Amino acid sequence: MARNDGIDRTSVRNLAVSDKAVGNTQQHNEREKDSYRNPDIIPQRASWNVHFKKPTASYTDLFAQLETAGTISTRGLKPDATHYCELVFDVNSAYFDNHGGYEIAKQFYADAYKAAVQIVGCEQYILSAVMHADEINRAMTEALGREVYHYHLHVVYVPVVEKQILWSKRCKGRALVGTVKETVMQVSRSKKWASKPLLDDAGEPVLQKNGKPVLKKSYSILQDDFFNYMRNAGYTDVERGERGSTEEHLTVTQFKVQREQERLDSLTAQADQKPQSLAKTSQTLSKKEKELAAVQKKVTLTKEAFIHARDLDYIGKRTFLGNYSLTEEEFSKLKKQADHGYMMDVENCRLKEELSTAKKEAAHWGQKYHELWYEVKPYLDALHREPELVRSFLEKILALKQERTMNVPHKNSRTLPVKGTPCITYSKQ
């Protein structure tokens, strides 16, 4: 990742591509999708992408053609072996923006493709090589007020190593046993990217204390090879990606990361506010639901009362003489309603009387409260102004009262002499 130190750094990543993922890799690299998860991809600029090697068929079909022609061999591979790899060459966006943009990017990655051919081993093992020029760098675009694009190169290839096939003991010619029968290009990602011994200035392996050679990781070797090739190609104003870094992306500018982090923080803050707003809305909704339930209950009771009252209007039939005749059922219903109404009237009268009594008692005790309050008001005022002085005064009064109480003899008490003491006092029962 770029360090925001003004230095332009090269970067190359080597990715393993499984048989299941190769179709998606092809759709992404060749821009065969209708839509993309990456919002930085601008489909209208797809025509700006540059193929240094355009595939004539699907990646899987090209692989099958190489195998059928005997160019590669999959003999002895496990079912889950990796058949494809992808190199992604990159330099931070600011480098191309400062050196001419699109045109310099095309030249740079044309030379990077030549480096890819050397890294892969031969161009025939490369299935596709395309420079993407349709991915915008939003942070730099916003900062500079003009469109800035992030140019990079994708190279999909078959990882192969040279393998010698020896004559076995079953060979009829005894002299041939153990000699080289044929040499094939074996598909093998693990052997292609195996760690290599670290060499000193004299070209000799650097050894550990136990005598074993110090191994240099294949990822570090890949970075060195790409950087050295680009330096030899004349790009002396770029530096190698950081040594010892475990990051895959070494060239996205720190400025872009900070800007995108700010955007993420803003979205996170908005997301954090959503649950609070939802909880408040849910609380309000619950309250409104309770109010609605209460109103519906009142409406139901009122509706039922109205129905009963309306039913009474239609009870009975008026006779020729002006009287009303009722059926037994109608008479029973009317009597029931009359009994109910009478009981309700009695209950209402009782409740009114209790209410009136309660109001009178409340008024009485309210008056008592005010009278008591006016009596103790001077004490409360004194306590408010001089709490310590009032408390000390009261303690002295209480102590004096207690002392007087203890010194006053009880009525109906007599004093009897007791041997050894002046007297004792006892009370009559």
At residue 175, does pLDDT exceed 70? Answer: yes
Which two structure tokens, joined as six digits, stand for 56? Answer: 């004539």
Residue 282 shares a structural domain with residue 403: no
Which two structure tokens, joined as six digits, stand for 167? Answer: 């004559």
- Whether residue 2 lies inside any domain: the answer is no
Q: Which domain holds residue 306?
A: 255-314
Last residue of a domain, one of 294, 314, 334: 314
CATH of the domain at 202: 3.30.930.30
Last residue of a domain, one of 210, 233, 252: 252
Residue 96 shares a structural domain with residue 239: yes
**What pLDDT, on the 0 to 100 scale, is given for residue 426?**
44
Mean per-residue pLDDT over the chain, rounded: 79
**What pLDDT, on the 0 to 100 scale, is given for residue 1?**
37
**What pLDDT, on the 0 to 100 scale, is given for residue 59?**
97
- Whether residue 372 lies inside any domain: the answer is yes
**What pLDDT, on the 0 to 100 scale, is given for residue 423?**
47
**What pLDDT, on the 0 to 100 scale, is given for residue 182?**
79
Residue 246 shares a structural domain with residue 134: yes
Residue 244 shares a structural domain with residue 138: yes
**What pLDDT, on the 0 to 100 scale, is given for residue 252?**
39
Does residue 275 or residue 222 have the better pLDDT? 222
Residue 235 shares a structural domain with residue 261: no
At residue 203, does pLDDT exceed 60? Answer: yes
Number of domains composing the chain: 3
Last residue of a domain, one of 228, 252, 276: 252
Residue 271 shares a structural domain with residue 344: no
> With bands split at pLDDT 50, 70 and 90, how would you rate the model's confidence at 242?
low
Residue 163 shares a structural domain with residue 279: no
Q: Average pLDDT, stretch 204-233?
A: 86
Residue 301 shares a structural domain with residue 176: no
Enumerate the β-bridge partners of residue 108.
none
Residue 87 shares a structural domain with residue 188: yes
- Whether residue 319 lies inside any domain: the answer is no
- Whether residue 424 lies inside any domain: the answer is no
Backbone φ, ψ for residue 211 (5° rounding): 90, -10
- Whether residue 143 lies inside any domain: the answer is yes
Residue 266 shares a structural domain with residue 375: no
At residue 259, does pLDDT exceed 80? Answer: no
- Whether residue 54 lies inside any domain: the answer is yes
- With b meaning 16 or more CB within 10 Å and e meaning fewer, what string describes 228-246? ebbeeeebeebebbeeeee
Percent of the chain with pLDDT over 70: 78
How does pLDDT run across 19-68, given as a tens digit for each residue? 999 999 999 999 998 888 888 999 999 999 999 999 999 999 999 999 99
Please state, in angstroms and rounded to a whole number, the distance separating the CA atoms of residues 306 and 295.
Answer: 16
Q: Which three-class secondary structure state does DSSP give residue 328?
A: helix
**What pLDDT, on the 0 to 100 scale, is given for residue 117?**
96
- Whether residue 425 lies inside any domain: the answer is no
Residue 259 shares a structural domain with residue 331: no
Q: Average pLDDT, stretch 168-186?
A: 77
Residue 299 shares a structural domain with residue 243: no
- Whether residue 176 lies inside any domain: the answer is yes
> With bands split at pLDDT 50, 70 and 90, how would you rate the model's confidence at 327?
confident
Which two structure tokens, joined as six digits, stand for 316? Answer: 């009975």
How does pLDDT run across 95-154, given as a tens digit for each residue? 998 888 899 999 999 999 999 999 999 999 999 999 999 999 998 888 888 999 999 999
**What pLDDT, on the 0 to 100 scale, is given for residue 248?**
37
Q: Average pLDDT, stretch 13-17?
A: 93
How does pLDDT run across 328-358, given as a tens digit for each residue? 777 777 777 777 777 887 878 888 888 888 8
How does pLDDT run across 277-318, given as a tens digit for each residue? 677 777 787 777 787 787 777 666 665 555 555 555 556 665
Burial of 52 (0-12, 13-18, 19+ CB in 10 A): buried
